[in-house]
Structure 1
Amino acid sequence: MMSKSKANEEKVKQFRWSKPMERVLLEILADEATKGNKPLSTFKPSSIARVVDTINDRFDISCELDHVENHLKTFKSNWKTIQTLRGKSGFNWDDKLKMVIAGKKEFDEYVLVHPSHEKYLNKMIDMYDEMALVVGRDMATGSFAKQLGDIDATEVDSSPIDIGDDFDELMKGSKTSLSIVPSEKRSHKRRKCFDNDDKLATLSTNIGEMASAIKSLGQNNIDPSQVHYSRLYDEVMKMDGYDEVTLGSIFDHLVENEKIGKAFMVKNANLRNVWIDKFLSKGDDHQ
């Protein structure tokens, strides 16, 4: 006869998380983190219970506390992989797209050894900011806390701060990321403790990461925009059913219209084909 603990383990493994369910989990716990309900990197039981109740009500499914806690372990493992890729030599991080960018050679060599990590390369990482709050060490900034707003909305609009290339602006961005959500309920002693310890530690980490990134760019002489355009060119030119001249015109259009180009990069093959057909149907006025 199977023991109770074994039965619980099997039950947790059999529970299937869909993408919409994962989004609800991250949205709710990101909101809980901004409210200070994640002391010592562990959520309060009431926060986990809120996830369980919401998922059960919204998806008409039997979700339990163990299911949420077990899936958080998966998110922590994924987060660790993403951060490793961000700091890997030869890779670049696009903070606007939330994407780890790798050139074709680096991509092919790495994926050959780590095929399961392909989903994190040259693709926008969905819910990155929420994951940072839920399983990372990030504190919620005031702007991000406002964006979480109504947690029952279908999607959370996350607009990261563009810190630019200038070093002074880079430093301002670091200070901005350290802002704490204002709260009259927090004691003066707690704020002072954070300012003296956590803020200095986080600032030190950010400065170290920035110095490494600047050094890496200097050593490899890599222009991140060129890496992006190279990847965009590869993605456009591999589209089936179109001649080379037509694809070349499409690439030029996407380069001239940066936002459209970024949107093209995160679409799947079917949506890319739909966009190209619509673009071509408009005629020479858009080429």
Structure 2
Amino acid sequence: MSDRRIWTLEEEDVMISILKGIVAEGGRCDTGSFRSGSYEHVASKMREKIKDINITAKHVQNKMKRLKDKYSEAYDMLNMSGFGWDDTHKCVTVTDTEILDAYVKKHPNKNYTANRPFPHYERLTIMFGKDRATGSMAESAADALDHMGLEHEESDTAGFSRPLSTPSNVASGSSDPNA
């Protein structure tokens, strides 16, 4: 017997509404994940709101994972040239087949296809929007060292020299940077 279930739009809508309330009440950790017991709470509330629904916390957790993957895919498309949003049909749009083909080739395991309805996308932004890495705070290793003040460590130690470690001399067990 499979534990997999097919969700209706109504069930997804109810689940998202409950989760939206949890987010509004601060039910997410700083990492963006939901607090312990949240999925069980959602399943319980869904059983109260939808007659004869057979749903568990694991169903809710799995659905959230799939929706997050789908949201991420749509988000990525919308942040690329050539893709747009159709507010009437609630879907990511692309008219140039070359752009779509290039995207599909680069993302073969995609969870969302452009031009297909995704009615919950805008509501999911409340739950997943902050979880997206944009790269705006990314820094190189040299920048990180500079910000930590470590790049000048050798000059600050007045004559103390420590060997440099590189992946090749660490693997060989040598501390000689010229090895």
User: What TM-score do the two structures reach when normalised by structure 1?
Assistant: 0.38
Aligned-pair CA distance for 1:37:
0.6
| Unmatched runs of 5 consecutive residues or more in structure 1 | 1-9, 139-200, 206-287
Other structure's SS at 1:71 match: helix
Given candidates 121, 125, 141, the residue that maps to 1:132 is 125
Aligned-pair CA distance for 1:112:
7.5
Counterpart for residue 72 of structure 2: 80
CA–CA distance in 2 between the matches of 1:53 and 1:89? 42
CA contact (8 A) 1:30 1:134 kept: yes
CA contact (8 A) 2:73 2:112 kept: no
Other structure's SS at 1:38 match: coil
The share of aligned pairs that are identical, in percent, is 26
Q: Does 1:26 align with 2:16?
A: yes
- Counterparts of 1:1-287 in structure 2, within 5 Å, are 11-12=2-3, 14-39=4-29, 40-57=31-48, 58-93=50-85, 99-106=91-98, 109=101, 120-137=113-130
Structure 2 CA distance for partners of 1:32 and 1:100, relative to 1, 3 Å: same
CA–CA distance in 1 between the matches of 2:21 and 2:117? 22
Structure 2 CA distance for partners of 1:104 and 1:69, relative to 1, 3 Å: same
CA contact (8 A) 1:72 1:135 kept: no
**Residue 8 of structure 2 aligns to which amino acid in structure 1?**
S
Aligned-pair CA distance for 1:59:
3.3
Counterpart for residue 248 of structure 1: none
CA contact (8 A) 1:52 1:65 kept: yes
Aligned-pair CA distance for 1:136:
3.3
Worse overlay, 24-33 or 93-102: 93-102
CA contact (8 A) 1:75 1:135 kept: no
Other structure's SS at 1:100 match: strand
CA–CA distance in 2 between the matches of 1:43 and 1:53? 16
> Which of the pair has more CA radius of gyration?
2
CA contact (8 A) 2:78 2:84 kept: yes
CA–CA distance in 1 between the matches of 2:99 and 2:129? 25
CA contact (8 A) 2:18 2:42 kept: yes
Question: What is the RMSD of the two structures over their aligned residues, measured on CA atoms?
Answer: 3.6
Aligned-pair CA distance for 1:122:
3.4
CA contact (8 A) 1:90 1:106 kept: no
Aligned-pair CA distance for 1:47:
3.0
Structure whose residues are more often helix by fraction: 1
CA contact (8 A) 2:104 2:110 kept: no
CA–CA distance in 2 between the matches of 1:75 and 1:98? 15
CA–CA distance in 2 between the matches of 1:15 and 1:123? 21
Aligned-pair CA distance for 1:92:
2.8
CA–CA distance in 1 between the matches of 2:9 and 2:89? 20
Aligned-pair CA distance for 1:104:
4.4
**Residue 21 of structure 1 aligns to which amino acid in structure 2?**
E
CA–CA distance in 2 between the matches of 1:126 and 1:56? 23
- How many residues get paired? 132
CA contact (8 A) 2:39 2:60 kept: yes
**Residue 60 of structure 1 aligns to which amino acid in structure 2?**
D
User: What TM-score do the two structures reach when normalised by structure 2?
Assistant: 0.57
CA contact (8 A) 1:30 1:133 kept: yes
Aligned-pair CA distance for 1:28:
1.0
**Residue 39 of structure 2 aligns to which amino acid in structure 1?**
I
CA–CA distance in 2 between the matches of 1:59 and 1:108? 41
Aligned-pair CA distance for 1:118:
9.8
CA–CA distance in 1 between the matches of 2:72 and 2:89? 19
